[in-house]
Each structure stands twice: as C-alpha cells, then as structure tokens.
Amino acid sequence: MPSFAIWQFFHLVALLYWVGGLILLGFYWLPRWPRMDPSRQAWENLQEILKGFSLGGVIAASLLLLSGYAMVLGMGGFAGLRPAIWLMVILGTMVALGAFHLFFAAHGRLRKALAQADMVMAEKSVAKYAAFARFLAILSFLLALIGVLGIYR
C-alpha cells in the first residue's frame, strides 16, 4: 500500500486538474461562448471538449475520493479526525459527486440539445454548465483552504 505522501501527491494532482479546469471553463471560456457567435462545427467541438473535460473530472473525482479516503485511513480512520478534516471529507465527497453531475447531466443536456439542433437549449446548457463549474471551483478552493488550515490545528 502506498505511503501517505504518495496518496497526497495523487490527491494534489487530481485537485490541480479539477480546479484548474473548472476555473478555466466556468469563469473564462464558457461565459464568453455565446458572444463568440460560434458555428455548428464550433458547437460540436465544444461538446467534445466538455465531454473530455467532464470525463477527466470523473476520473479526477474518483482519484480524489480514493486518495482522500486512503489518507483518512492512514490517519487512523474516521474516529480520530479533527472537525476541519471531517468537513473536508463531507464537502469533498459532495464536490466529487458534482463531477459526476457535470459528466452525466450537464454534458448530457448539451449533447441532447445539439442532436436536436436546439441552439437555445444548447446555450442554456452551456450557461448552466458554466454556473455549476463556478460553484464547484469556489467550493473546491474552500475545501483546499480548509484542508491546509485544518492540518495545523
């Protein structure tokens, strides 16, 4: 079984991918997408990009859960956790479930809208994806802060 430091490494790599992607998509790219007046092919490309990111998010979330729970076990299990770490475990699990939501629901709505050539629904889907990505990015940032501060108490 890998040492605590190895689990921490994988946890941080997954966190960097997840939060970096959420910030890029949620705060910068997707909010500007409707103003770009994209072509049908651009919409298809966006759908493929979001599919790839969302799948990567599911993988990152799974790795975050695996490494996070492995670190909890490495710290002696749930019984000895400090409140900050408990909060991180609970909220982190909720954020990881958000990754599954982005892949299955949010991305699925966009795929369905493009298959039906419903551009109004596609724009709404992108806006909802961006809003949820922003929410998850902020929550993930707070989780990282809670985790860092909670270690030293």
- pLDDT for 147 equals 79
* DSSP tag of 152: T
**DSSP-assigned states of every residue in 56-115:** HHHHHHHHHHHHHHHHHHHTT-GGG--HHHHHHHHHHHHHHHHHHHIIIIIHHHHHHHHH
Residue whose C-alpha is closest to residue 108's, from 92, 93, 121, 94: 121
Average pLDDT, rounded, for the chain: 90
Q: In a 3-state reduction of DSSP, which class is residue 117? A: coil
Q: Looking at the predicted structure, is the pLDDT value of residue 138 above 90?
A: yes
Q: Are 68 and 8 in contact (CB under 8 A)?
A: no
pLDDT digits (tens, 9 = 90+) for 97-129: 999 999 999 989 999 999 999 999 999 999 999
Q: Are 19 and 140 in contact (CB under 8 A)?
A: yes
- pLDDT for 21 equals 94
Joined together, the tokens standing for residue 153 give 């108490």
Q: Are 4 and 10 in contact (CB under 8 A)?
A: no
For the chain, what is the radius of gyration of the CA atoms? 17
pLDDT over 70, % of the chain: 97
> Where along the chain do its domains lie?
4-151
